[in-house]
């Protein structure tokens, strides 16, 4: 015998999308996620208003240093007050007059004086002393 269909829509039983056990599992997972976010917010200082907002964060400065006797001109051009022209002059001086023995010798390059040297000194790696360099 064939199964009888209910005559009204009201007599149909709704089939749940998730079983009751699955619904309970989802509810527990959502509750755990919310509790974890609350604990993170509290431990990071959210209750004191101490969370870092990206708009108020201090900008970071990248610090780099270059090896004067081996750096290519694009790397040298990144130092303040140098630019492409002076960087190319530094490389040309290094190729024609030999390596720089100390930072002071950087002034042999046309366009680099004491003020420019003082400005770029923090960006230069220390030079080895003459007694630590093997003679050729």
pLDDT for the residue numbered 84: 93
pLDDT for the residue numbered 127: 81
End-to-end CA distance of the chain: 107
Cβ atoms 90, 76 nearer than 8 A? yes
Q: What percent of the chain has pLDDT over 70?
A: 82
Long-range CB pairs of 7-10, under 8 A, 24+ apart, other chains included: none
Cβ atoms 126, 69 nearer than 8 A? no
Q: How confident is the model at residue 136 (pLDDT cuts 50, 70, 90)?
A: very low
Cβ atoms 66, 76 nearer than 8 A? yes
Burial of 34 (0-12, 13-18, 19+ CB in 10 A): exposed
Query: pTM value?
Result: 0.52
pLDDT for the residue numbered 53: 67
The string of pLDDT tens digits covering residues 56-97 is: 777 777 788 899 999 999 999 998 889 999 999 999 999 999
Give the Cβ contact number of residue 90 at 10 Å: 25
Q: Length of the chain, please?
A: 136
């Amino acid at each position: 015998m064939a199964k009888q269909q209910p005559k009204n829509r009201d007599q149909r039983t709704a089939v749940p999308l998730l079983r009751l056990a699955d619904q309970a599992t989802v509810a527990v997972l959502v509750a755990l996620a919310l509790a974890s976010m609350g604990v993170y917010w509290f431990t990071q200082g959210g209750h004191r208003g101490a969370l870092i907002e990206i708009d108020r964060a201090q900008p970071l400065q990248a610090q780099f240093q270059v090896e004067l006797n081996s750096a290519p001109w694009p790397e040298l051009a990144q130092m303040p007050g140098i630019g492409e022209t002076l960087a190319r002059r530094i490389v040309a001086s290094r190729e024609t007059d030999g390596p720089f023995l100390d930072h002071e010798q950087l002034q042999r390059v046309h366009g680099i004086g004491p003020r420019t040297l003082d400005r770029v000194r923090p960006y230069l790696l220390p030079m080895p002393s003459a007694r630590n360099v093997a003679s050729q």
